[in-house]
Each structure stands twice: as structure tokens, then as C-alpha cells.
Amino acid sequence: MAWGQVARRPIASLLSRAQQQAAQGYTSSATSQTHLLGNHFPQNGMLHRRFSSQVPASEQMSLIKRLRERTSAPIKDVKASLVSCNWDIEEAQKDLRKRGVILAAKKSSRTAAEGLLAMAQDEKRAAVVELNCETDFVARNDVFQYLASSLAKMVLSVQDPGKLVFPFAPAYLETMSINLDHPKLSGETTVRDAVTEVAAMVGENVKLRRGFLLSTTGHGVVTSYLHNCPQPGLGRMAGLVTLVAEDSSAPLDALKSVGSSIAMHIVAAKPLFLSKELVSAAAVESERDVLRTQAEKSGKPAIAMEKMVEGRLRKYFEEVVLLEQKYVVNDGTNIKTLLNDLSKEVGSKVTIGNFVRMEVGEGIERPEEADVPEATARAA
């Protein structure tokens, strides 16, 4: 009997305390529940699926694959964005783009000496653009190749600068708008932002380095040749040349055929000047000094040495002057003779207006090259 009384007191006390707490705390409890529910049910009534860290491994792999297909970003970055965004693929895609701008900025100081030349042309103009990256692996990436081709086509679409030979730096294009019709790119943007976006995707430093626009205004043609082509319009070496006929009735088909061969010759033979007259006096005198020094070591009489110098100077012109070079297709003739034969065929004098030769990475100092002089100096 005593035990029953003692047992009923705590029970009565608990019931009383529960009633008081219920009366006092109902409002805050209800508010708390509403707040918690609000985290999962937006006010607009739409339920967005958000993934927790408890996402099954099979679904994690599926999300990683889908996001990588969307963005082409490295798997490491794709997974990091998904984890930080609680496996929400839409938020992770936005996060990747934000990360990409930062990562691209960090990589911008790295040497980018690989890449591609992209070419586009019409009847009277041809444009070639160099887009660089760090490795040839990225140069084979479809997004990188698409951007390079789009930039070359864009050069033809902008206002004609009114110059037959128009070399341009990145600043000429960077602020212009470009529409990228590719599922992994963001549509209409600026050239600068497009390059940054692709750099973020491929995980390397990507740079628009330079370009050329070659035109002809007379009765002539612009012809081109690309070497090492992964696909049409892309390559690692490019040659462009314009041929012009004096007679406006001269057939252009023959000019196109010979012009294509000369463009290929330009890539192979690497001419520096169009004619001997265009070789600067300083370049000729510099070469003459080198040849004279070499001749003096022979110990021959002055007259004989002078003949040696002149003979080697002619050889120099044959190496660096386009019109004097032996034709790579037939070394029994030179480019000047080839043009003379073409002139006879079409019944009008045909001349070369201008030419351009480009190669990916030429003139860029690579890290391994920069280390060679230092190693030599130390060895000395």
C-alpha cells in the first residue's frame, strides 16, 4: 500500500509537468517543426530532390559520369563539386564553372606550347588562328577543337580590316561575342570567357595566341594547306598564299591547283622572304659577314674567297627566298619557273601576292629548352 502511494506521486508529477510544458512550449515547438520542414519544402510548394552523403555508390558513379559528360571536367574536380554540393548535380555544375575560373587563372602562368591551328576561308580570304594548350592530349579534345574552329570562322565573320595581310593578337578578338553551339559550352559569351571555360574543362592553361587574315582584291585566289590534320580545318602547320592574274579573264582553276601546291611547299620549305629584293640589307650584310669569316679560314686568295662568299650567298637566297627555292614537288625547277609556266598556261602573268607560314608553338620557349643553357653554363 505504501509502495502504491509512492509510485503514484512520480506518475502524477510527470503528467502535470508534461501538461505545463505542452501549454508553454507548443508555440515554439510548432515553430521549430515548421522551420525544419521549411528546409525540405520550399515556399513555392515544389519539392527539389537533394542528395545526402548517403547516396548509394552506384548512384554516385552515375552522377559523376553524367556531370563529366556535361562538362568534360577532370573526374577529380567533378567528384569534389558533387560532394561539396551534397550530390546535387545542377548545383555541382554551377560550382564547377566557378571553380573553373579560379583554376584557369592559377594555370595561366604555365607554358602552353601545344595546340592547334584552325583555318577558315572563302573565295577571297583565309583566316588561321593558333589556340594553345599544354599537351597534345588536350589538343585532341573535341571541345578544344570546336573552340579553335569557331574562332577561325569568327575571324571571317567580323568586319574586314581592309588589309591584304592582317596579323592580329588576342586582344583583337577577346572582347567580341561568340556563339558556341556545343552541348558542353555555355552558348553566347565573349571569346575571353569561352577560352577560360574550356581551360577549366580540360584542366590546362589554354591561350588564344595569334592569328592571320590573308586576302586578295584582284583577279586571283587564296589557297591554303594544313599539315598533321586531326580533322578538316585543323592542323599543326599551315601555309597560305595568294596568286593574282593580271588578266581578269584568266581561268582561276589552274591558279587554285598550283596555289595549293605552293602552300604545301611553303609549309615544307619554310621561306622567310618572297623575293630577293625584299630581303633586308641588314640581313644580307649579316649573312655576308658570316660567310666571309668562314671563307677566310680556307686560306685561299682574296679573289677566290670573294667568289666563295658570293656563291654561298646565292645558296642562302635559295634557302630563304620563296621565288628562289627549289620546288619540293620537283626539285628540278624553282618557284619562279613554276609561276612562269603557270602564266603561259592561263595566258596571263601570274604573281604571288603574299604568303604566310605558321606552326604551333614556334617561338615559345618551353621549360626543358629554358633549362638547357643553365645546365651548359654549370657544366662549363
Residue-wise pLDDT tens digits, 218-244? 899 999 999 999 999 999 999 999 999
**Phi/psi at 109 (5° precision):** -90, -5
**CA dihedral defined by 286, 288, 293, 297, rounded to 10 degrees?**
160
- DSSP states of 230-250: SSTTEESEEEEEEEEESSTTS
DSSP-H helix ranges across 212-334: 253-269, 281-296, 302-320
What is the per-residue pLDDT for 319?
Answer: 93
What is the per-residue pLDDT for 17?
Answer: 54
Three cell numbers written together for 208:
588564344
What is the per-residue pLDDT for 377?
Answer: 38
Calpha distance 154→132 (Å, rounded): 17
Residue 278 DSSP label: G
What is the per-residue pLDDT for 267?
Answer: 97
Calpha distance 53→166 (Å, rounded): 56
What is the per-residue pLDDT for 20?
Answer: 55
What is the per-residue pLDDT for 365?
Answer: 83
What is the per-residue pLDDT for 26?
Answer: 40
Distance of alpha carbon 285 from the chain centroid = 39
Paired with 355 in beta bridges are 241
What is the per-residue pLDDT for 91?
Answer: 84
What is the per-residue pLDDT for 105?
Answer: 64
| Stretches in the chain below the pLDDT threshold 50 | 1-9, 11-12, 14-15, 18, 22-23, 25-52, 370-380
Q: Looking at the whole model, is its pTM more than 0.75?
A: no
Residue 155 one-letter amino acid: V
C-alpha Rg value of the chain to the nearest Å: 35
Specify the residue for cell string 621565288. Answer: 323
